[in-house]
Amino acid sequence: MALSTPELAGRLRGVWTALVTPFRGGKLDEGKLREIVDAQVAAGIDGLVPCGSTGESPTLPFAEHKQVIRVTVEAAHGRIPVVAGAGTNSTEETLALCRDAREVGADGVLLVAPYYNRPSQRGIFLHFQAVFDAIDIPVVLYNIPGRTGVNVEPDTVSLIEKLGKLAGIKEAAGSCDQVSRLLELCGPDFPVLCGDDSLTLPFMSVGACGVISVVSNIAPREMAAMVRAFRENRGIEALELHRRLFPLIKALFIETNPVPVKTAMGLLGLCTDELRLPLAAMEEGNVVRLRKAMRDFGFKV
């Protein structure tokens, strides 16, 4: 059963992993996905986000999208919450994916601002208003202008928050000022999760409460330790962990996400490095750079 909006808002803290979708032979590898979820729970991750950008959601047909969420929810088995990516550039398709997510037991949905359409701020508000009017599941807004082509301005987020079903936001505009403005408008307790691994500590320094992370697919304990250290007022320890993680994080973004993290997981034997077109295998020179960063971090690859 989905959490209520206040319940989910209270859980949006710490490190949530933006899960990869493991493939084998062109199909979802259910067994590997269950193994990945178990490993994430054991590592102390606070929540899971399947079917986002990292999960190659644009390449998942509706039935498979629903399958990925169902398997993740089953594997998590109530141990940690699951917020499923369900946003598209079509309001009607978004509604369909939200209903699927609720049907298979997700605790909430992550909804990106409609991409490609480049809606106005009013259009963004009306999109979320229509979704909120039609669904019964908490929503985490996902602001990532680099992929959508439009920034969801803090004033718009404030209007959406007043509709009553917004549990928090994944903020990936890359601006501490924007985080500060969000918290000014929505209140200091409004859950803001960083959407860029390398900016987690800076965002938390101005009031964000955690991160939806890519790097935690391969380094969940270290990411969790960094966020926990900061939240427990152990700033020097958090900074040391940030400095250790930073080169690995940058290596995981030398090509379009999730190409590098999928490659890294293949090197670690966590799943295959299989991607779906239009994503292609990592350039060999970049694989060398990634492997070096992983070795420097302590992985045996």
Tell me, yes or no, whether 269 lies in a domain. Answer: no
Structural domains in the chain (count): 1
Tell me, yes or no, whether 231 lies in a domain. Answer: no
Task: Look at residue 104 and tell me whether its pLDDT is greater than 80.
Answer: yes
Tell me, yes or no, whether 18 lies in a domain. Answer: yes
Residue 292 annotated among the catalytic residues of the structure: no
Give residue-wise pLDDT tens across range 55-68. Answer: 999 999 999 999 99
Mean pLDDT of 70-80: 97
Residue 170 annotated among the catalytic residues of the structure: yes
Q: Which amino acid is at 232?
A: E
Q: pLDDT band for 44, please (50, 70, 90 cuts).
A: very high
Mean pLDDT of 45-59: 97
Average pLDDT, the chain: 97
Give the model's pLDDT for residue 153.
98
Tell me, yes or no, whether 48 lies in a domain. Answer: yes
The catalytic residue among 32, 66, 170, 262 is 170
CA separation for the pair 255, 232 (Å, rounded): 34
Residues of the domain holding 156: 5-219
Task: Look at residue 133 and tell me whether its pLDDT is greater than 80.
Answer: yes
Whether the model pTM is above 0.85: yes
Give the model's pLDDT for residue 3.
83
Give residue-wise pLDDT tens across range 270-292. Answer: 999 999 999 999 999 999 999 99
Mean pLDDT of 242-268: 98
Tell me, yes or no, whether 27 lies in a domain. Answer: yes
CATH for 10: 3.20.20.70
Give the model's pLDDT for residue 214.
98
Give the model's pLDDT for residue 279.
96
Partners of residue 84 on adjacent β-strands: 109
Tell me, yes or no, whether 98 lies in a domain. Answer: yes
Give the model's pLDDT for residue 1.
59
Mean pLDDT of 32-46: 98
CA separation for the pair 97, 50 (Å, rounded): 13
Mean pLDDT of 159-170: 96
Tell me, yes or no, whether 113 lies in a domain. Answer: yes
Give residue-wise pLDDT tens across range 174-209. Answer: 999 999 999 999 999 999 999 999 999 999 999 999
The catalytic residue among 66, 142, 165, 262 is 142
Tell me, yes or no, whether 282 lies in a domain. Answer: no
Give residue-wise pLDDT tens across range 80-101. Answer: 999 999 999 999 999 999 999 9
